[in-house]
Structure 1
Amino acid sequence: MLDVEAQKPPDGKWTTPPFDPRFPNQNQTRNCYQNFLDYHRCMKSMRRRGKNPQPCEYYFRVYHSLCPISWVQAWNEQIKQGRFPGKI
């Protein structure tokens, strides 16, 4: 996983997601999907441990920057309905 603190921009300075060497190509669809999964996995883990979910904010910002809103809405709806295909 990426080091959240090292990648965190100064407050109010978030522009675009930093380069992720796992996704070097121009098409960022997989990057979008992976960060969506990472965010939900992070939140699940933090809730289970009773810790502050603030480190998960990195993944939230990245997938909100990369993913079309319609995809995120559809995936969240699928999660609510229990039919999301990804492993969270």
Structure 2
Amino acid sequence: MAEDMQQKMEKYRTAPFDARFPNQNQTRNCWQNYLDYHRCQKALSAKGVDTAPCDWYNRVYTSLCPLSWIEKWDSQREDGAFPGKI
């Protein structure tokens, strides 16, 4: 399974279709993948497990989200003022 995921990551070019977000506006998709990445990091780090599976969410949200949004959300997380539940 890990090898299969690794092969998908190597062929990765842009965010794949996600049936949860069928419309052209991908703002919600960007937001959800950002949250999923940080939730995944938090959960796996707490268990002491390798966080490599979380890289998928990272690659998706970095391809969908404007850099200014990511920087803003990162600074909000650092300041403890992030509006999302991680």
TM (normalized to structure 1)? 0.88
Q: After the TM superposition, which residues 1-88 of structure 1 pair with which residues of structure 2 at under 5 Å, given as runs?
A: 9=8, 11=10, 13-88=11-86
**Quick one: distance in 2 between partners of 1:14 and 1:34?**
19
Backbone CA RMSD of aligned residues: 1.6
**Quick one: distance in 1 between partners of 2:13 and 2:83?**
30
Q: Deviations over 1:3-27 (max 9, x none)?
A: xx56x6252x321111100000000
Report runs of 4+ in structure 1 exceeding 4 Å deviation: none
Number of residue pairs matched by the alignment:
83
* Larger helix fraction of residues: 2
Q: Which runs of 5+ in 1 are unaligned?
A: none
Q: Deviations over 1:35-67 (max 9, x none)?
A: 000000000001000000000000000000000
TM (normalized to structure 2)? 0.90
